[in-house]
Amino acid sequence: MIRVQTEDFDVGAELAALSTDDHSIGGVTSFVGYVRDLAGSASVSAMTLEHYPGMTEKMLGDIEAEAQRRWPLAASLIIHRYGRLVPGDRIVLVACASAHRQASFEACNFLIDWLKTKAPFWKQEQTPDGPRWVDARAGDDIAARRWQPPESSS
Amino acid sequence: MKLLYFAWLRTRTGVGEEEIERPEGVETVQDLVEWLRKRGPEFAEAFANMKVVRAAVNQTYVQLEHPLAEGDEIAFFPPVTGG
């Protein structure tokens, strides 16, 4: 399931809902991303997340479908917020449920790595020097690349 | 066709969204980029280095050689930074 929204989410309630009706589930792995108060050496007072309505949902759906194809998942969930957020706010929740822990750990890792390099979101930080668009990190590309099947790596 | 600009491509060009008629001779995304660069200094600067610009046609990532058709939705944006 995919949700793109401005409002906050309740992690406990979301994880409970993911596994309530399916007792074949042996474990749920989740990742929650937060707004930090520091970017390099600059302090961040707020952050605005912009996205591409339509393409965002399409890309998140594609990424989730790819995870479902690669791992035996009973359920999966991606919630991503946009709009103005402040340090300590939740940005993203990724969760995967499976019969066994290894599939849920790996799929969760995969989802956040691919989301960070493919889903059309952009962060603008408010710093003492004014607003600043966050640059993409090479480390995120490297993290995403480890999930490419060997035959399609280029 | 519909053009969309996100993040610093929007703030530098001053345009978020616009409808244009496909200009004469514009057959690919690369042609469109070259046409946009001639529009003025803001566009020339925003599209100066295509290594830091991604393009999507009809909400799918494409390379610059991708052909364009009437009615396409073409988006330009920097590498993504969500999550």
Buried b or exposed e, range B13-23, using 16+ CB within 10 angstroms: bebeeeeeebe
> Does the distance separating the beta carbons of B4 and A92 come in below 8 Å?
no
Residue B29 in domain: yes
B83 at A interface, C-beta within 8 A: yes
pLDDT digits (tens, 9 = 90+) for B43-75: 999 999 999 999 999 999 999 999 999 999 999
Question: Which site among B2, B51, B81 would you substitute to test the A interface, given the most A Cβ atoms closer than 10 Å to its Cβ?
Answer: B81
Residue of B nearest to A32 (CA): B83
Token pair 């999507």 is found at B56
The amino acid at residue A129 is: D
pLDDT for residue A150: 60
CATH number of the CATH domain containing B71 = 3.10.20.30
Residue B6 in domain: yes
Residue of B nearest to A35 (CA): B83
Q: For chain A, give the percent of residues with pLDDT over 70.
A: 97
B7 at A interface, C-beta within 8 A: yes
Average of pLDDT values for A122-147? 92
Give the integer Cα–Cα distance in Å for B74 and B1.
8
Calculate the average pLDDT of chain B: 97
Instruction: Give the helix ranges, DSSP H, for chain A.
Output: 11-19, 55-70, 101-118, 138-145
Burial class (CB in 10 A: 0-12, 13-18, 19+), A149: exposed
* Number of domains making up chain B: 1
pLDDT digits (tens, 9 = 90+) for A70-129: 999 999 999 999 999 999 999 999 999 999 999 999 999 999 999 999 999 999 999 999
Residue B65 in domain: yes
pLDDT for residue B58: 98
Residue B69 in domain: yes
Per-residue pLDDT at A137 exceeds 70: yes
Residues of chain A found within 8 Å of residue B61, distances taken between Cβ atoms: 118
Q: How confident is the model at residue A42 (pLDDT cuts 50, 70, 90)?
A: confident
Q: How confident is the model at residue A21 (pLDDT cuts 50, 70, 90)?
A: confident
Calculate the average pLDDT of chain A: 94
CB contacts under 8 A, B 11-30 vs A, are 11
Residue B83 in domain: no
Per-residue pLDDT at A64 exceeds 70: yes
Residue B82 in domain: no
Q: How confident is the model at residue A154 (pLDDT cuts 50, 70, 90)?
A: very low
DSSP letter for each residue of A90-111: EEEEEEEEESSHHHHHHHHHHH
Find the chain A residues whose C-beta atoms sit closer than 8 A to any C-beta of B.
Answer: 33, 49-52, 54-55, 58, 80, 91-92, 112, 115-124, 133-137, 140
Lowest mean pLDDT among A88-97, A141-150, B28-37: A141-150
- Domain of residue B23: give its range: 2-77
Residues of chain A found within 8 Å of residue B77, distances taken between Cβ atoms: 52, 120, 122
Domains of chain A, first to last = 2-143 (3.90.1170.40)
Q: For chain B, give the percent of residues with pLDDT over 70.
A: 100
Residues of chain A found within 8 Å of residue B82, distances taken between Cβ atoms: 49, 51, 80, 91-92, 115-116, 119-123
Per-residue pLDDT at A151 exceeds 60: no
Per-residue pLDDT at A24 exceeds 70: yes
Per-residue pLDDT at A152 exceeds 80: no
